């Protein structure tokens, strides 16, 4: 039997796609905070983000009457150029599936199941890509994950936290210690010299213990140092994203000082623990042993206004006895000041 796609397209577009997009946005902390609030752009060959990289020191200052003013000889602004990344998910219904599920209600049920699978696939695609630990091209999603130190300069490109090799990010190549380098350090080693990367259990115990008898857990000491390194006056991290294991260690360290907070991450059902002015939350996509200190002033998704999970109608493909629809996304995850971001890393399984 032939498949009547007109009603199916209208129903999918009106009912299912808005729900699918909402579920993607509310699937994890990173999607809810950044992807759901993506800035919509109309197009362009590249995505351009202006960067404030220095104080305009040569043309700012106090002056006296008739004092000659210095010309504006330096420009404190640069720009990063980002390539568009594209993603899609296909939804296929064969005539055989339609025949086996005869009747409007049955067809609706299988369509709902297919779209739910597309939603889960897209959710995992974005979550995984954001923490990709291998080589990332300029037309893929920018990664937060620091690449292994054994990599090459090309592998480090398009990784926000990979500053070891002078990587290229947003068409800008970093130099050691400059504004385009993110902060990337390891949790402190145990005082007795145990190799923490080889023994996850020992490392977990070490992070929960007091730092050299100070009464403050080592994990809190390390977090405090990183938080301070990522802060300039009131410009501070507002989100700390980590694994369940590290979150549990931090919660244990707090003991009776524990404070649950309700911020925008709690709107979608996510709860977090307070650390200074940031919220510590768990994302299942974060690699083992990583804790990210993020400043939302400098992180943003950019998305094409016509490709923000846009639905392409079901239509017959000549080579298949089926109808196929697709969902398209086009955009990029951008960073305008890596220097204000940090990551702590530990053993492979912590």
In whole numbers, what is the pLDDT of the chain averaged over residues? 82
Indicate if the pLDDT at residue 329 is higher than 80.
Answer: yes
Element at 239 (helix H, strand E): strand 239-242
Contact 249, 344 (CB under 8 A): no
Element at 305 (helix H, strand E): strand 299-316
Instruction: Pick left, alpha or beta for residue 33 (phi over 0 → left; psi -120 to 50 → alpha; otherwise beta).
Output: alpha
User: For position 187, what pLDDT does the model report?
Assistant: 86
Neighbours of 177 (CB within 10 A): 9
Residues 6+ apart with CB under 8 A from 73: 58, 59
Q: With bands split at pLDDT 50, 70 and 90, how would you rate the model's confidence at 310? A: very high
For the chain, the first-to-last Cα distance in angstroms comes to 55
User: For position 78, what pLDDT does the model report?
Assistant: 80
Q: With bands split at pLDDT 50, 70 and 90, how would you rate the model's confidence at 199? A: low
Q: With bands split at pLDDT 50, 70 and 90, how would you rate the model's confidence at 284? A: very high
Q: Which residues pair with 333 in a beta bridge?
A: 301
* Coil, helix or strand at residue 323: strand
Alpha carbons 196 and 102: distance in angstroms, whole number: 59
User: For position 191, what pLDDT does the model report?
Assistant: 43
Indicate if the pLDDT at residue 317 is higher than 50.
Answer: yes
Element at 80 (helix H, strand E): strand 77-82
User: For position 264, what pLDDT does the model report?
Assistant: 46
Which is nearest to 207 in space by CA: 169, 243, 161? 243
Element at 344 (helix H, strand E): strand 342-345
Alpha carbons 284 and 36: distance in angstroms, whole number: 18
User: For position 167, what pLDDT does the model report?
Assistant: 84
Alpha carbons 326 and 328: distance in angstroms, whole number: 6
Contact 187, 346 (CB under 8 A): yes
pLDDT tens-digit profile of 34-52? 999 999 999 899 999 988 6
User: For position 133, what pLDDT does the model report?
Assistant: 87
Contact 49, 338 (CB under 8 A): no
Alpha carbons 256 and 233: distance in angstroms, whole number: 29
Higher pLDDT, 319 or 350: 319
Q: With bands split at pLDDT 50, 70 and 90, how would you rate the model's confidence at 349? A: very low
Distance of CA 185 to the CA centre of its chain: 19
User: For position 189, what pLDDT does the model report?
Assistant: 64
CATH 3.30.70 fits 5-44+82-345, yes or no: no
Indicate the range of 154-158, 170-174, 252-256 predicted with least confidence.
252-256
Contact 315, 324 (CB under 8 A): yes
Give the single-character DSSP code of 310: E
Structural domain spans, the chain: 5-44+82-345
In the chain, the percentage of residues whose pLDDT exceeds 70 is: 77
Contact 221, 211 (CB under 8 A): yes
Alpha carbons 86 and 243: distance in angstroms, whole number: 28
Helices and strands of the chain, counted as H and E runs = 9, 15
Indicate if the pLDDT at residue 247 is higher than 80.
Answer: yes
Alpha carbons 209 and 216: distance in angstroms, whole number: 8
Instruction: Pick left, alpha or beta for residue 149 (phi over 0 → left; psi -120 to 50 → alpha; otherwise beta).
Output: alpha
Give the single-character DSSP code of 142: P
pLDDT tens-digit profile of 69-103? 776 555 556 889 999 999 999 998 887 777 666 65
In the chain, the percentage of residues whose pLDDT exceeds 90 is: 46
Alpha carbons 31 and 320: distance in angstroms, whole number: 35
User: For position 63, what pLDDT does the model report?
Assistant: 82
């Amino acid at each position: 039997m032939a498949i009547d796609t007109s009603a199916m397209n209208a129903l999918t577009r009106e009912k299912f796609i808005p729900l699918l997009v909402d579920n993607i946005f509310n699937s994890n902390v990173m999607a809810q905070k950044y992807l759901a609030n993506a800035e919509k752009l109309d197009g362009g060959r590249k995505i351009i983000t202006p960067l404030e990289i220095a104080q305009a020191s040569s043309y700012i200052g106090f002056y006296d009457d008739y004092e000659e003013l210095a010309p504006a000889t330096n420009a404190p602004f640069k720009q990063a150029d980002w390539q568009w990344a594209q993603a899609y998910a296909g939804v296929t219904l064969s005539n055989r599936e339609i025949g086996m599920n005869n009747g409007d209600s049955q067809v609706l049920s299988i369509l709902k199941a297919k779209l739910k699978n597309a939603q889960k696939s897209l959710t995992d695609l974005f979550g995984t890509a954001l923490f990709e630990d291998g080589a990332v091209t300029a037309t893929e999603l920018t990664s937060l994950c620091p690449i292994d130190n054994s990599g090459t300069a090309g592998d480090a490109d398009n990784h926000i936290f990979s500053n070891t090799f002078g990587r290229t990010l947003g068409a800008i190549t970093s130099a050691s210690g400059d504004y385009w380098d993110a902060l990337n350090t390891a949790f402190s080693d145990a005082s007795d010299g145990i190799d923490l990367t080889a023994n996850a259990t020992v490392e977990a115990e070490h992070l929960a213990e007091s730092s050299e008898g100070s009464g403050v857990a080592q994990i809190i000491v390390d977090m405090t140092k990183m938080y301070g390194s990522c802060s300039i006056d009131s410009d501070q991290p507002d989100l700390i994203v980590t694994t369940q294991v590290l979150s549990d260690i931090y919660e244990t360290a707090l003991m009776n000082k524990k404070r649950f907070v309700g911020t925008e991450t709690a709107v979608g059902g996510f709860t977090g623990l307070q650390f200074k002015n940031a919220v510590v939350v768990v994302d299942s996509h974060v690699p083992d042993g990583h804790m990210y200190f993020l400043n939302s002033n400098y992180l943003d998704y950019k998305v094409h206004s016509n490709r923000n999970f846009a639905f392409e109608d079901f239509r017959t493909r000549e080579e298949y006895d089926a109808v196929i629809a697709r969902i398209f996304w086009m955009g990029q995850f951008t960073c305008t000041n890596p220097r204000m971001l940090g990551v702590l890393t530990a053993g492979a399984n912590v």
